[in-house]
Structure 1
C-alpha cells in the first residue's frame, strides 16, 4: 500500500507540473483556455465535495458560481473593493447563502433535493435577469476590472494563468486534506450509508451542511475569478449549461477522488478546442467520448486508475500461503476435470 501511495503522489506531482508547464509554454489563446480550465478545476472540485464525497446530487451548483461572479463584479466595480478582497467577499457571501439554503434543502431527500437545488439556481437566474438596477439585467455587468495584485493589473493570459493556477492548486490541496480528515471520512460515510453513519453517532445533517457550504464558497471563488478574467458577467452564469459541463467533468474524471475533477476539467475544456478542425462532427465526437467513458470507465479516468492500482497492491501483498493454496486448488480442479473427462 505504501508503494501505491507513493505512486499516487508521484502521479499527482507530475500532473500538476505538466498542467502548469503546458499553460505557460502554450500560445496566448491556448493559455487563455488553460485559465478557463483552471477555473473549471475549482468549480468541478467544489461539486465533487458534495457529489463525490457526500453523495449529494446538486443540480443548482451554478447558483454559487454565478453568485460569486456577480458579488465580486459589483463589489470591485460599484464599491471600489480591491480584486483580492472582492474574491474573499464573494466566497464569504456564498458560504453564508449556501449554509442557509443547505439548512432547508438538505432536509429533503433524493429527487426532492435535486429539484430544490435546481429551483434555487433558477431563482438566482431570474433575479439576475430582472433586478436591472443592480445586475444590469439581460445586458449583464461589464467593465469588471481584471485580476490584479498589489496595484498591478494582470491582463495577458501568461500573467493571469499562474494566479488562477495557484488558487486552483490551493483549493485542490485543501480538499485533499479535508478528504483525509475525520470530517472527510464522515462525509464518505454519509455517501455510503446515511442510516448506518447516523447509527454510529455521526451527525450527518451537520456534515452535509458543512460540505454544502464549503462547496458553495469554492464555487463562488471560481465564479469570481471567471468574472475578473472575462470582464463581463450575465445571467447565463446561472445557466444549466455550466452545471452540465461541471457534472460531466466530475463524472468523467472520477467522483470521490482528488485528481478526478482536475483531469475531467482539463479534458472537457480542451477537448472542444481540439475538435475545432471538424465543426460538423465536433459535438458528435464530444458526445461519443463521453458515452465511451461512462460505459467502459464508470469510475472515471482517475477512479479507474486508482482501482487498478489498489488491485495490484492487494495482489502484491497477498501472503505466499494464500497463493500456494490457490495454486493447489487450481491443480485439484484441473485433476478433477481430467478424471471427469476420462
Structure 2
C-alpha cells in the first residue's frame, strides 16, 4: 500500500484584515498518497487557492497559519523559518503550478533565464548544466527545447502554461499543486494540458493536488476528490464514489449543474443564494442557508466529517 506523502491535520489559515478575520482555510484534514491525484473542487472564493498557498508555507499577506499540521514525507513544515522553507521545502519537496501563466513569467527575461534560477540557487548547477536540464524538461512537456531562448510574449497561452508546468517539475518535488492550470485556455488546449498532466503522473509517479471549480475536468484526472465549501472540506472520497454516490447536498447540486453527454437530463440545477461571508460565517453548517434539506440542528451545530462508506467522508446531519 502506498504511503502518505502529504498529511494535513486541522489546518487553519486566516486573513487578518481591517474588517475582521477571514476564515479562508478552517480546520482542514486530509492525506495524499504517493502517486495519487487529489482533485479539489468548489465555488470561487471557497478557499481552494488559499489552501494551495498555505500548503506551500506561503499564505498571501495578510494571511497567517493559525493552527494545524502539514507533514511532507514525514517532515513537519508548519513553524519552520522562512529561510529553511525556501532552501529545503519549496520547489524541492512541494511546488505549485500557478493559476495565471500569463502573469507568472517575467516579461523582461527569457524563459531559460527564469527556469535555470532555482537550479543554480538550490542545486548549485552551472548555467550550462541548468540550461541543459531546463531544455530536457521543456521536451518532457512537449515543447521545443529552443524555447529557453524566447521571451514570454513570443509564446501562446498553452505554451506558457507548459513552461510553468516544466518549471514546477524541475527540482523533482514530491508533491505538485496545480492551481486551475486550464483557466483562460480554450477547450482544445485544456484537453492537451489535461492529457499532459495524466502522462506526467504516469511517467513520473507524481503526487498532485489539482485545484479547479470544474468537476468535469476532475473526472478525467483525479483518483480522489475533495469538495470545499466556505473554507472547509465538506466531502472527500474516491472519485467514482463522489461522482456516482454524492452524499452531501452541496456536492449533489454541483454535479446536477453539469451537462451530461449520455444521460437525459430535463433541466440543469443551480444552487440559490451565494457563498457566505467568511468574516462572519453562519452558525452550524455553513451550507444551511442554501440547503434544500436544512433542519433545525443544521442551524445550531456544525457537523463533523465522518466516514459514511469505505474511504468516503462527508459532513452533513442528514447522514
Higher relative contact order (CA 8 A, sep 6+): 1
Structure with a larger share of its residues in helix: 1
Q: Aligning the two structures, in what range does the TM-score lie when normalised by the shorter sequence?
A: under 0.3
